[in-house]
């Protein structure tokens, strides 16, 4: 079954808007796991506008499922990951001022750099994943870096889903097939929600993990966190 990793960045965004420690991101991570999440994802950025580096350190001891840290592999990010040693690190080519992740890696142009970073993490036993789009060139060069997995950047799928679900999913299915044939694990994330998640999963049943934050936390405002996590988990049933 495809695992659901809950991104708790938005919990930290609400906390930071007011200051203090309400809502508490550590408690949120504990509850997400208690309610059925298969993992917790955080994406610290240099300006710490949501998850802070300190949060990552504080969250690590309470993770009983899987811990996935996303981010641009700057020196400070690499040092954080090496000190915390999550189960998985997902490398994302964010600009420092990006509102949210909005592109995958050009793995051909950045192949040497990514190979070095991937090797650094794998030497420490940390599973690696590269955030990529569906371009076969990027997937083929991801293989060369030695990464364990890729994470498909699914915003284009989400944007096209309501118009023509089959056409929107097609390049993602082809990319996932190419990755599978090359021996890569396949994750997916960005703008996945209760409307479009099940269709993607049915077309790519070998997805290993989906990472969902914004939509899931937004749904939880109306439905409650426990019910929302269970609803997302049902979308991933075979």
Helix 9-18 to helix 214-223 angle, to the nearest 10 degrees? Answer: 70
Rounded CA separation 47/44 (Å): 8
The two three-digit tokens of residue 60, written as one number: 């690590």
Name residue, tokens 């997937």. 139
Confirm if 9 and 213 have CB atoms less than 8 A apart: yes
CB 188 within 8 A of CB 168: no
Provide the annotated active-site residues. 43, 70, 190
Sequence-ordered alpha helix ranges (H) in the chain? 9-18, 25-34, 53-59, 75-84, 111-123, 136-145, 155-161, 165-181, 197-203, 214-223, 225-235
Contact 55, 9 (CB under 8 A): no
Work out the widest C-alpha separation in the chain, in whole angstroms. 48
**CB atoms near residue 194 (< 10 Å):** 16
């Amino acid at each position: 079954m495809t695992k659901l990793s809950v991104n708790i960045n938005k919990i930290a965004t609400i906390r930071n808007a007011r200051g203090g420690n309400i809502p508490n991101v550590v408690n949120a991570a504990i509850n997400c796991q208690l309610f059925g999440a298969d993992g917790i994802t955080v994406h610290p950025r240099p300006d710490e506008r949501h998850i802070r580096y300190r949060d990552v350190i504080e969250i690590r001891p309470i993770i009983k499922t899987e811990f996935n840290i996303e981010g641009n592999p700057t020196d400070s990010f690499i040092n954080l990951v090496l000190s915390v040693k999550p189960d998985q690190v997902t490398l994302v080519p964010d600009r420092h001022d990006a509102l949210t992740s909005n592109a995958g890696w050009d793995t051909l142009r950045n192949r040497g750099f990514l190979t070095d970073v991937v090797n650094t993490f794998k030497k420490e036993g940390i599973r690696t994943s590269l955030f990529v789009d569906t371009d076969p060139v990027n997937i083929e060069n991801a293989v060369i870096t030695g990464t364990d997995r890729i994470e498909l950047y699914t915003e284009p799928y989400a944007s096209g889903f309501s118009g023509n679900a089959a056409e929107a999913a097609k390049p993602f299915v082809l990319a996932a097939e190419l990755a599978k044939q090359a021996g890569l694990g396949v994750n997916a994330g960005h703008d996945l929600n209760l409307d479009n998640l099940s269709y993607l999963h049915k077309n790519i049943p070998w997805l290993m993990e989906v990472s969902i934050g914004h939509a899931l936390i937004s749904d939880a405002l109306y439905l409650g966190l426990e019910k929302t996590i269970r609803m997302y988990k049902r979308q991933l049933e075979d």
